[in-house]
Amino acid sequence: MTAQQLAQRHHIDTILSYAEGGQSATEFPETELIGRSWKRCISEYGLDPSQPRSARIVTQQTLREHQDSVDEFLNVARAGVEQLYGMISHLGYVLLLTDHRGITVQYLGDRRSDRRLRQAGLYLGADWSEQYAGTCAVGTCIAEHQALTCHRVDHFDATHISLTCTSAPILDPSGKLLAVLDISALDSPQARYSQTFALNLTQLYARMIEDAYFLRRYRNQVIFRCDASREFVQVNGQYLFAIDEAGRVEASNTAGRALIGDMPRQKAMGQKPGLTQFFECQLEDIWSIPFDQDDQVRAFRRQGSGDTFFAALIQPRIVSPRSAGTETFAADEQVPGLDRLAADDPVMRRTLGLAKRLRNRDVGLLILGETGTGKEILARAIHESSNRSKRSFVAVNCAAIPESLIESELFGYVAGAFTGARTKGMRGLIQQADGGTLFLDEIGDMPLQLQTRLLRVLAEGEILPIGADRPVRVNCRVIAATHQDLGQLIERGDFRADLYYRLNGASLKLPPLRQRADRLHVIHSVLDNLIAGGGLSAVRLRADAVSALLAYDWPGNIRQLVNALMFAEATCDGGEITANDLPEECVSDRMPPLENDLSATGPESTPLLNALHAHHWNISAVARQFGVSRPTVYRWMGQQGIILPRFLGRGDVSGR
């Protein structure tokens, strides 16, 4: 008896003993999956391990029928199959592609070993169904819907125990098994782990072929392709969804189905899941992804988990009348002044989309966001991209003007209106914004009685300067902003609900920097702006600095980022900012104290006054010195009775 015959005899004994329960399934075979298959072979298919079967090759006629049933798929799979074979042929592997019944419909192997391969069933037309061939990679993959390696003695049939075979399933867009990709070798090392790489490679190619087929099947529909990696989404995005014009998912690849759940079941129940159910987005967010531009990737946050996914749209090859309807949404106008404020953060995109649509309408806009998130920058950008851009943008910080002066500042006064008034009177800030935009920052700090007057301006389009007997018509667009919860202020009776509704024609949310998916873009654009504006010399950020900036929490948002970059530029050497050059709080694990954690009134009034003097009443510089926002400094000043010199009509100043 040859060594091979001995090994086969031993294998038959092992399986017979297993069938009789002589060996426990945990000892042999090595994996549960193979054990299940052996059981099926014996009890379901009635295969006899002592009767090894030669390979079954179907007739030419039958083969053609099997090939014809997957003709379109074979055309798509060809390139992937040839590429994979190019990688493995020199290692002694052959490649089989079978249909869902296990019939080999495509085969690539070494002609020099033709006879041996044919004998082993590694050949075109071979039947690798579990029912016929017993436990084997293809058959067991079909039965279990799972990729696996069937290594040597894992095979049921003793004639196969020198083979190592690895298979992965390929599913159609509805999740049904379409084909099996297999790579097999006539001889292999004993150790099963020698095939780990084969398993990974086969799974990778099975997925690529499956995706290529999906793209082919849905080539006339818009495909929403997404991935957790921004860089990979366009080359190899994992998740594919064919969508209709309402953003409903018609079909998805295996990964996509796993991501959004059991689609076939939902479909059977007559529900077509919409992408807006799975991502925190509106339909416009999806259709605003441009098809034909370099930067055609957008970030989306998953509902619930908040995980970020990056998405691109693949344009249909033929624009059907149905998908042509999407053009109403795709008309995502480019407005450079607004577009430059964000890259692919979903909240920012929605905010900017709304800002674009409303920039030339006279609805009140309310910008909401933590301190330093760029509320004033956004208001300016809206003004500059609107048809009011030729006229003034007047910014009023309601927290910065002492309550006693805010009325005259806003409404102006006529000559001789009150003692101390300028002899010629003064045009108020509202009037200065005539034809342009009035930006009311920190609107939550506006005194109640002035809220009433402001409401009248908004409702009637006219103001009554102090001391005037006739109102003056003004036509200004009002944009208000706050970091406060106006709802709470209204409940406490500190803010008028009617003014709130008048100001809040639409609210534009600015997310905190730490939540923005486009933080990298913000960091570079802030740096570029500072350099272009002459505020910084031309420095570059080293990778460790970028990592630290991306990881930090930014309680002071973009303003704090501006300060951190200015600090780093002043301390760095050789035109390169490293992590070591950043302010300590940005690189330490310790969270910097939040502004609110600082004492309510800030430093003692002497240090505050000293700082104001030292910085010539430059509030931004004082805010930087204490590491807080400008409104906080104004709040401290208000609490300590310190008034800006220009409000006192003097060159220098002290407390009240």
Ligand X SMILES: Nc1ncnc2c1ncn2[C@@H]1O[C@H](COP(=O)(O)OP(=O)(O)OP(=O)(O)O)[C@@H](O)[C@H]1O
Binding site for ligand X (CB under 6 A): 341, 369, 371-377, 441, 483, 525-526, 529, 558-559, 562, 629-631
Q: Which is nearer to ligand X, 383 or 559 (CB)?
A: 559
The helix/strand/coil state of 142 is helix
Query: What is the nearest approach in angstroms of ligand X to the Cβ of residue 340?
Result: 7
Distance from CA of residue 216 to its chain's centroid?
Answer: 26
Query: What is the nearest approach in angstroms of ligand X to the Cβ of residue 558?
Result: 4
Query: What is the nearest approach in angstroms of ligand X to the Cβ of residue 473?
Result: 29
Q: Which is nearer to ligand X, 474 or 612 (CB)?
A: 612
Query: What is the nearest approach in angstroms of ligand X to the Cβ of residue 377?
Result: 4
Q: Which is nearer to ligand X, 285 or 345 (CB)?
A: 345
Query: What is the nearest approach in angstroms of ligand X to the Cβ of residue 565?
Result: 10
Q: Which is nearer to ligand X, 108 or 481 (CB)?
A: 481
Alpha helices in 492-601 (DSSP H): 497-503, 519-532, 543-551, 557-571, 584-587
What DSSP element (H or E) covers 98? strand 93-99
**Locus of tokens 């090994």:** 7
Q: Which is nearer to ligand X, 123 or 617 (CB)?
A: 617
Ramachandran region, residue 461 (left: φ > 0; alpha: ψ -120 to 50; beta: rest): left
Q: Which is nearer to ligand X, 372 or 428 (CB)?
A: 372
Count the neighbouring beta carbons within 10 Å of the beta carbon of residue 204. Answer: 14
Give the separation between CA 74 and CA 124, rounded to whole angstroms. 14
Closest CB to ligand X: residue number: 374
The residues, ordered by sequence, that sit 6+ positions from 35 with a Cβ below 8 Å of its Cβ are 18, 25, 29
Q: How far is residue 205 from each of residues 91, 97, 144, 210, 572, measured CA to CA in Å?
A: 17, 12, 19, 8, 48
Q: Looking at beta carbons, which pairs linking 646-653 to residues 24 or more positions away fall under 8 Å?
A: 647/401, 647/402, 647/405, 649/420, 652/613, 653/617
Are 497 and 452 in contact by the 8 Å Cβ rule? The answer is no
Q: Which is nearer to ligand X, 203 or 529 (CB)?
A: 529
The helix/strand/coil state of 57 is strand
Q: Which is nearer to ligand X, 94 or 443 (CB)?
A: 443
Q: What share of the chain is helix, strand, coil (3-state, %, to 5)?
A: 45, 15, 40
In 3D space, the residue among 406, 337, 413, 382 whose CA is nearest the CA of residue 477 turns out to be: 382
Are 428 and 408 in contact by the 8 Å Cβ rule? The answer is yes
Query: What is the nearest approach in angstroms of ligand X to the Cβ of residue 405?
Result: 19
Give the separation between CA 259 and CA 257, rounded to whole angstroms. 5
Query: What is the nearest approach in angstroms of ligand X to the Cβ of residue 257?
Result: 38
Are 418 and 465 in contact by the 8 Å Cβ rule? The answer is no
Q: Which is nearer to ligand X, 296 or 529 (CB)?
A: 529
Count the neighbouring beta carbons within 10 Å of the beta carbon of residue 609. Answer: 17
Count the neighbouring beta carbons within 10 Å of the beta carbon of residue 282. Answer: 17
Q: Which is nearer to ligand X, 98 or 351 (CB)?
A: 351
Alpha helices in 313-360 (DSSP H): 321-324, 327-330, 336-339, 346-358
Query: What is the nearest approach in angstroms of ligand X to the Cβ of residue 510?
Result: 7
In 3D space, the residue among 495, 492, 364 whose CA is nearest the CA of residue 440 turns out to be: 364
**Locus of tokens 């097999």:** 184
Residue type, 430: I
Q: Which is nearer to ligand X, 157 or 569 (CB)?
A: 569
Query: What is the nearest approach in angstroms of ligand X to the Cβ of residue 403?
Result: 19
Query: What is the nearest approach in angstroms of ligand X to the Cβ of residue 441?
Result: 5
Query: What is the nearest approach in angstroms of ligand X to the Cβ of residue 579?
Result: 21
Query: What is the nearest approach in angstroms of ligand X to the Cβ of residue 372?
Result: 5
Structure tokens at 33: 């999956």
DSSP 42: I
Are 504 and 366 in contact by the 8 Å Cβ rule? The answer is yes
Alpha helices in 218-269 (DSSP H): 233-236, 254-260, 263-268
Q: Which is nearer to ligand X, 35 or 511 (CB)?
A: 511
Query: What is the nearest approach in angstroms of ligand X to the Cβ of residue 272?
Result: 38
Q: Which is nearer to ligand X, 210 or 376 (CB)?
A: 376
Query: What is the nearest approach in angstroms of ligand X to the Cβ of residue 339?
Result: 11
